[in-house]
Each structure stands twice: as C-alpha cells, then as structure tokens.
Amino acid sequence: MGQFHFTETEIKGVYIIEPKVFGDNRGYFMETYNYEDFKAQGLDMQFVQDNQSKSRKGVLRGLHYQVHFPQGKLVRVISGEVFDVAVDLRKGSPTYKKWVGVVLSAENKKQFYVPEGFAHGFLVLSEEAEFVYKVTDYYHPEDEGGIIWNDPGIGIHWPLEGIEEIIMSEKDKKLDGLKE
C-alpha cells in the first residue's frame, strides 16, 4: 500500500496523483493504479473502460463532458507533454465554473483525477503526446456536451507559448460558451 502521493487541488474531488517510481540501471517500474490505495484516499470508483489517443503539438481536445452518463477520468501521459484541464460543472458547487490545470508528461509521470460532473480537455505542448485514461462509465456519443476552449466566463489560462496553431476537431470548433 501507499504507492501514490495524492494532492487534492483547490477544487474538491480533483486530484493530482504522483506514483512512486522505482528506478535502477534497467529503467523504472511504477504502479499506475491500485484500487486499495485509491479507496484509502476516498477515491472508490470502478473503471469500466481504458482509452488512448495520440496527438501532435497544438492539438486541443475539449472541453468535453457527458450530460446523463458522466464519466470520472483518471488521465496520464505516456509520451510527450500536455496541459490538462478540469472545469467544475456541478450545479450548486462552491467552485462551479472554476477550473484547475496541470502539466502531465511522460517525464513527470503525474496523473490527474477528474471526477464526474466536470468538463475536461487538454492541449498538447510537445511535438507529439500519447494520452491514456480510465473512465467510470462507457462512452455514449449522443450524451456528449462541450464548451468552447476559450470561454471568457471560465477564463482558462492555456500555456500557448510556442504553440503556432491550435488544432481542433470541427465539432470542437463549433462549441459554444457555457450556458447556465
């Protein structure tokens, strides 16, 4: 037990998780998830699906959320570097519309837990990045919602230095700002 350091962010329920890394002349070993360690931290969820994506520098995916089938997400980067963001969409939450972001990279090995009820997105900072995540519910394409990445009502401070072009899907380009 105790293979992780959990840091709760300023938004309740959102965690930065740092695994213990055991390295030697052969390389390294780490656990990326352990049910008992997470449960001891109060993160007692069941993951039902793992996903992986690869993107190039400047790709911005998000901000996405699910309306009726919300997903908690445990995200990490296995190659490259991204800026990952969670936006609180929980009505009645004292941090409603607040966001928190963290740099995730293959080098720092940090993970980010985004609970149900949040919008999520990331911007690729390195030449390429491979992003992997576990989710607590299956993906329902008809249930997806989204918020435009630069909504002034949320005010995310994306690290755009060195990003020549933001690359988005056509669907994400058409997203609106957050409506009450």
Say whether 68 is catalytic: no
Which tokens in the block code for residue 171? 């669907």
The class of domain 46-173 in CATH terms is mainly beta
Could you tell me the pTM of the whole model?
A: 0.94
% helix, strand, coil for the chain, step of 5 = 5, 45, 50
- pLDDT, one tens digit per residue, over 59-75 is 999 999 999 999 999 99
Please state the rounded mean pLDDT for residues 74-96: 97
- pLDDT, one tens digit per residue, over 47-58 is 999 999 999 999
Out of 64, 65, 113, 120, which one is annotated catalytic?
A: 64
Residue 175 is which amino acid? L
Mean of all residue pLDDT scores within the chain: 96
- Report residue 113's pLDDT band, with 50, 70 and 90 as the boundaries: very high
Give CB contacts under 8 A, 24+ apart, made by 27-36.
Answer: 30/3, 30/109, 31/3, 31/4, 32/76, 32/111, 33/74, 33/134, 34/1, 34/3, 34/4, 36/1
pLDDT given for residue 137 in this prediction? 97
Out of 15, 68, 133, 138, which one is annotated catalytic?
A: 133
Say whether 120 is catalytic: no
